[in-house]
Amino acid sequence: MHIPVAIAKKRAKVPLKRYPIQKKFQTAEYLRTVPHLRLRLPIQALLARLRSESDFLLTQFFRDRDFLRLQPPIITSSDCEGAGEVFTVAAQVTTPASLGDGEQAAIREGGFFRKPSFLTVSSQLHLEAYMHEHPKVWTLSPTFRAEKSDTPRHASEFQMLEVELRTQNLAEVMDLVEDMIRSLVQGLRKKSFLEQLVAAKTTWEQSGTDGLEGDCQHLSSRWDGLEKTSWPRITYEAAVRLLQDSVKSGESEFIHEPNKDAGLHLEHEKYIAIMVGLGQPVFVTDYPRAMKPFYMLPSASQVGQGESAETAACFDLLLPEICEVVGGSLREHRLQNLEAAMSRRHLDLRPIHDNSGSTNDLSTGPAGIMGGNLEWYVDLRRFGSVPHGGFGFGFDRLLCYLSGIRNIKDVIPWPRHYGKCDC
């Protein structure tokens, strides 16, 4: 039963003037400091229903296609992305007096798990472990990144939808992403969520009471673009040429000069989404291998070149304005090639023992890439593997795009980000 805020406040046993959310303009920043009360706002109630219905529709989509839903671990002993932006898991452990001095010292030195442990940055590696027996798997679970970033697109805790399936064709993975998002939008439209969002956002923009940062002017066109078929696809190399040509012609100016070796910045992605997508999402494929994680298979035209291959069989999906929402690739399923790729990135497979006898599973190689405790992942190839690929999909970022809310912290019910973890 939905109880209006006004009624809820009347039933409260404290003076109305003490209620943190008064009937006046409230900034988005302030509302994020009272997330437990922000949930009472009508727009937040609508976002909760949008999130719930999206979860259901995605579950239905994958169930209809015989995907197995899994619950991967939240605590891990490895860094999937290799960037080192992980939260360390620790506990205040009181060692029993019955333990010997050596055992007590080992617990104090190695921590609760006797080895470094972290909150997961991706469930991909664990999903891959199922590939031998299950051809299609997926999950929607919490993901954590210890990035000291406070942009509208980043949060420290968010929901990531991840998929792995047996395939040798990158286009098949992109087709699945396209079908998934289109099916989701069509299902939400049938439940009149677009009309509800437009009405709610129009109301708050006129009254200025909810203090959210959003825009409903182009909301309908966003949804229309997601429902169109045959989303454009362009290679990374072609995308960089497009950016460079726009600069040479004087058509565009960028803060960061387009360069093949420097990657795509947000301003570049926005330009590509506008010029190539024309209102639709855009797949950018075949990025340089040096920019991507170790586990990616080389591009189809370079599979036989081993470590000399320059590009990876991968893609990023860019949405207009919000940019990257999905990243995927084919996975390197050949043992020798995987080991060579890991060696080139200076990734340590086995635990490292120091002189004190303690174990440290996380080390930093010369390239600054963190690894360790990946022997189990190599076992997935050592004892037989199958060609497969998959993707990670930023669930909360898509909700931002669908709702027209610019800041991801306003669609996540309990936002955690650098410097903030309220409630």
The answer to whether 127 and 69 are in contact (CB under 8 A) is: no
Are 129 and 390 in contact by the 8 Å Cβ rule? The answer is no
C-alpha 117/C-alpha 146 separation (Å) is 14
How confident is the model over 157-181, as a mean pLDDT?
97
Backbone angles phi, psi at 413, to 5 degrees: -60, -40
Token pair 């306003």 is found at: 410
- Residue range 235-259: mean pLDDT, rounded: 95
pLDDT at 359: 40
- Is the per-residue pLDDT at 104 higher than 70? no
Residues in CB range of 140: below 8 A, 6 or more apart: 55, 58, 69, 159, 160, 161, 162, 395
Residues 37, 96: Cα–Cα separation, whole Å: 42
pLDDT per position as a tens digit, 371-390: 457 889 999 999 999 999 99
Rounded to the nearest integer, the mean pLDDT of the chain is 84
Higher pLDDT, 146 or 388: 388
